[in-house]
């Protein structure tokens, strides 16, 4: 699974689709944190390193870590790409199927990369990569299970890298508070807070390793708007409580709408659902021709043929998912968006 978005690809593949595109391909919160603080950030000067340090301290408090362990990045994707060049690991096990950038990054660095299942044998790998909650199927391990695995990796001299890009929506699963030693955690800001375009993420790790990352990214790793938004949003506890409830309702409605239209939900989180259909590939193409873009999982965890495509459906545009109705009419947006029904045609 590669990341969503890529509307340029959609436009190139389906040039006659009506505009604007309805993008359901990302696992980004469609109910974003909105405050004037980041819109008023001063873009005429360089971000002060002290402000970046304050952002890292705010993130550390949110994660349950120490500020010295937290490094701000322009998106957690950069952390994925940097770690192969920082760690000396050669044999890499990636718990699969999962987000494709991890394998891409390690393979590009010339490492021996193997897809493994959740029954991990630490001594067989120098580093293990685990996405929790997983993308695209929402598979999870509990925090205690991951801590146990981290202890085994530590004892074997290996690294455990946990990608928690979606963990703000399920904070009880996070092990960021245990980061250190040979446990590295990657966190995303933009997914849960609905501000993916700000490009803000973090690596949480041992302070000595954090210093190496800081040296690589320099004094201005993130822009002024991201610094201001992160500092304020992480402190906005009331908003987090409200949006957790709202996302849970929206995801439940999304499942009902999909099932009502003959899709089978096989996994997901409160930010997206992974679905299948007997005519999944045709459904994908039909929706794309109508200007509706979804992400497709090329690896099939449910066991049907390799040609099967499993769409991952994000909450996307806010309108349909806030409805409590599961009727076909609820799957239509206003005519300006030209959103069709989701069933096969």
pLDDT digits over 287-312, tens only? 888 888 887 665 443 333 333 467 88
Residue 2 confidence (pLDDT) = 58
Highest-pLDDT range among 23-37, 67-81, 272-286, 291-305: 67-81
CATH number of residue 18's parent domain: 3.90.1150.10
* Same domain assignment for residues 141 and 12: no
**Residue of 122 and 19 predicted with greater confidence:** 19
User: Of 235, 256, 282, which marks where a domain is finished?
Assistant: 235
- Is residue 172 helix, strand or coil? helix
Q: Per-residue pLDDT tens for 175-221?
A: 999 999 999 999 999 999 999 999 999 999 999 999 999 999 999 99
The encoded tokens of residue 278 equal 């007997």
Considering the domain boundaries, does residue 340 fall inside one?
Answer: no
Count how many domains the chain has: 2
Looking at per-residue pLDDT, the higher value among 328 and 170 belongs to 170
49 and 18 within one domain = no
Predicted confidence at residue 285, as pLDDT, reads: 84
Q: What gap in Å lies between CA 333 and CA 67, rounded to an integer?
A: 44
Whether 85 and 165 map to the same domain: the answer is: yes
* Phi, psi (rounded to 5 degrees) for 276: -140, 165
What DSSP state is assigned to residue 180?
Answer: B
50: confidence class by pLDDT, cuts 50, 70, 90: very high
323 or 74: whose pLDDT is higher?
74
pLDDT at 149 over 90: yes
Tell me: do 71 and 17 sit in the same domain.
no
Cβ neighbours for 102, distance < 8 A, ≥ 6 positions apart: 80, 94, 129, 131, 161, 163
Decide: 9 and 288 in contact? Cβ < 8 Å.
no
Q: Which domain range does residue 134 map to? A: 36-235
The pLDDT, as a whole number, for residue 336 is 30
Q: Is residue 2 part of a domain?
A: no
Are 301 and 178 contained in the same domain? no
For the residues 130-134, what does the mean pLDDT come to?
Answer: 97
Is there a contact between 70 and 184 (Cβ–Cβ < 8 Å)?
A: no
Q: How far apart are CA 24 and CA 338, in angstroms?
A: 14
Residue 336 lies in a domain: no
Confidence tier at 332 by pLDDT (50, 70, 90): very low
List all residues 6 or more positions away from 303 whose beta carbon is below 8 Å from its beta carbon: none
| 91 phi/psi in degrees, rounded to 5 | -100, 115
pLDDT at 3: 59
Please say which residue of 217, 235, 253 terminates a domain. Answer: 235
**Residues 21 and 88 both lie in one domain:** no
Is the pLDDT assigned to residue 320 strictly greater than 50?
no
Q: Which of 180, 206, 235 is the last residue of a domain?
A: 235
**CATH code at 160?**
3.40.640.10
| pLDDT at res. 297 | 60
Residues 42 and 169 in one domain: yes
| CA-only gyration radius of the chain, Å | 20
> In the prediction, which pLDDT does 307 show?
32
Q: Are 275 and 266 in contact (CB under 8 A)?
A: yes
* Residues 222 and 243 occupy one common structural domain: no
Same domain as 158, residue 303: no
Centroid of chain to Cα 192: 9
Q: What is the pLDDT of residue 284?
A: 78
Percentage of the chain with pLDDT > 70?
Answer: 86
Please give the model's pTM, rounded to 2 decimal places: 0.86
Most confident of 40-54, 58-72, 278-292, 323-337: 58-72
Whether 337 maps to a domain, the answer reads no
What are the DSSP E strand ranges found in 15-158? 22-23, 70-73, 91-95, 112-116, 127-131
**Maximal C-alpha separation, the chain:** 59
Look at residue 21 and tell me whether its pLDDT is greater than 50: yes
Structural domain includes residue 295: yes
DSSP secondary structure letter of residue 263? -
Instruction: Round the average pLDDT of the chain to a whole number and report it.
Output: 86
- What pLDDT is recorded for position 296? 66
- The three-point CA angle 168-300-146 to 5° equals 40
Tell me, yes or no, whether 145 and 275 share the same domain: no
Four-residue CA torsion sign, 222, 228, 233, 235: positive
- Asked whether residue 249 is assigned to any structural domain, the reply reads yes
**CB 195, CB 217: distance < 8 Å:** no
> Do both 137 and 259 map to the same domain?
no
Record the tokens describing residue 284, joined without a space: 């994908």
Query: Looking at the structure, do residues 45 and 123 belong to the same domain, yes or no?
Result: yes
């Amino acid at each position: 699974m590669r990341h969503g978005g890529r509307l340029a690809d959609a436009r190139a593949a389906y040039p006659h689709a009506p505009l604007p595109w309805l993008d359901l391909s990302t696992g980004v919160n469609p109910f974003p944190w909105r405050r004037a603080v980041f819109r008023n950030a001063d873009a005429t000067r360089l971000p002060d390193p002290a402000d970046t340090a304050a952002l890292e301290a705010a993130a550390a408090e949110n994660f349950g870590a120490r500020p010295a362990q937290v490094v701000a990045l322009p998106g957690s994707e950069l952390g994925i790409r940097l770690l192969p060049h920082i760690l000396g690991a050669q044999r890499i096990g990636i718990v699969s199927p999962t987000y494709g950038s991890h394998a891409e990054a390690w393979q590009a660095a010339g490492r021996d990369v193997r897809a493994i299942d959740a029954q991990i044998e630490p001594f067989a790998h120098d580093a293990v990569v685990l996405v929790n909650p997983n993308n695209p199927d929402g598979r999870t391990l509990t925090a205690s299970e991951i801590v146990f695995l981290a202890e085994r990796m530590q004892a074997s001299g290996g690294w455990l890298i946990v990608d928690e890009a979606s963990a703000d929506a399920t904070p009880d699963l996070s092990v960021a508070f245990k980061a250190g030693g040979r446990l590295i955690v990657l966190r995303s800001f933009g997914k849960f807070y609905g501000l993916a375009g700000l490009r803000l993420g973090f690596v949480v790790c041992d302070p000595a390793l954090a210093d190496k990352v800081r040296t690589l990214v320099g004094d201005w790793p993130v822009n002024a708007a991201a610094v201001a938004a992160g500092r304020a949003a992480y402190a906005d506890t009331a908003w987090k409580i409200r949006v957790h409830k709202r996302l849970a309702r929206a995801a439940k409605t999304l499942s009902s709408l999909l099932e009502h239209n003959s899709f089978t939900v096989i996994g997901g989180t409160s930010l997206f659902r992974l679905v299948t259909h007997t005519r999944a590939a045709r459904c994908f193409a039909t929706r794309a021709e109508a200007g509706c873009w979804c992400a497709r999982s090329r690896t099939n965890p449910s066991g049907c043929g390799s040609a099967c495509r499993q769409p991952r459906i994000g909450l996307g545009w806010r309108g349909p998912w806030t409805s409590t109705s599961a009727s076909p009419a609820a799957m239509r947006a206003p005519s300006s968006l030209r959103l069709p029904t989701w069933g096969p045609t």
